[in-house]
Amino acid sequence: MDRRILKSKEAIVEAFIGLMAEKNFEQVTINEIANRANVSRGTVYLHYTDKFDLLDQCIKFHLVQLIDSFLPCGVTGIFPSKASLLHTFQYLGQHAFFYTAVLTNKGVPMFRDRLKAALLRGLDKQIDMDGINRDMNKEMLVQFLASAIGGMIEWWITDPMPYSEADMVEQLWALMERNQMVPQPLNQ
């Protein structure tokens, strides 16, 4: 992609997130965004139809990255591991500014739902319905687990991250193994 587009989008998104951390989404104006991004107002409209589209693209982009941090190769190839879960929390930590903004901003209540939806899609592919889960209703189980993980993420991000990434991985990985959301340990 053209270097100019990347730079403009980067500046716009950064300005937008910064403003969202300061005030409600509704009272963020395109003018402010353009000014803070040091970009012409027309440039914003060149890439985004309006601020709802801007918010939408931001959320989509980050949720794709979030899933990718855990499932880097998608369906094919490598299975998720403790290491990839650590990558996920490192990614979350690095982008805590964005996630805090969208999770706490009064004007963006739908983000919680979209995070859960992304988790649902990811879980639906990963979960092993044999063994301990043989007699469970998959839909209910997936709902249960997606809520659990989403809640843990939201709690870790929204509170000032009281535990380290490694601590979170240790606890969460055990819970995921227990529910056959990841490859089972061999000595079992």
Partner DNA sequence: TTGGATTCGTCCATTATTAAACAAAAGACG
Partner DNA sequence: CGTCTTTTGTTTAATAATGGACGAATCCAA
| Count, residues in the chain | 188
Residue closer to DNA, measured from CB, 43 or 100: 43
CA dist., res. 15 & res. 38, Å (int): 9
To a copy of itself, the closest distance from the beta carbon of 20 in angstroms equals: 23
Partner interacting with residue 51 (select from a copy of itself, DNA, none; CB below 5-8 Å by kind) = DNA
Question: What residues from 47 to 86 belong to the interface with DNA (CB under 7 A)?
Answer: 47, 49-51
| Span near DNA by CB under 7 A; candidates 44-52, 56-64, 103-111, 128-136 | 44-52
CA dist., res. 60 & res. 65, Å (int): 9
Q: 123's torsion region: left (phi>0), alpha (psi -120 to 50) or beta?
A: alpha
Backbone angles phi, psi at 184, to 5 degrees: -75, 145
To a copy of itself, the closest distance from the beta carbon of 41 in angstroms equals: 11
Partner interacting with residue 62 (select from DNA, a copy of itself, none; CB below 5-8 Å by kind) = none
CB burial string 108-136: b at 16+ within 10 A, e below: beebeebbbebbbebbeebbeeeeeeeee
Token pair 């803070």 in the structure block, residue: 36
To DNA, the closest distance from the beta carbon of 141 in angstroms equals: 42
Partner interacting with residue 32 (select from a copy of itself, DNA, none; CB below 5-8 Å by kind) = DNA
Q: Which residues of the chain form contacts with DNA (CB under 7 A)?
A: 2-5, 7-8, 29-32, 38-43, 45-47, 49-51
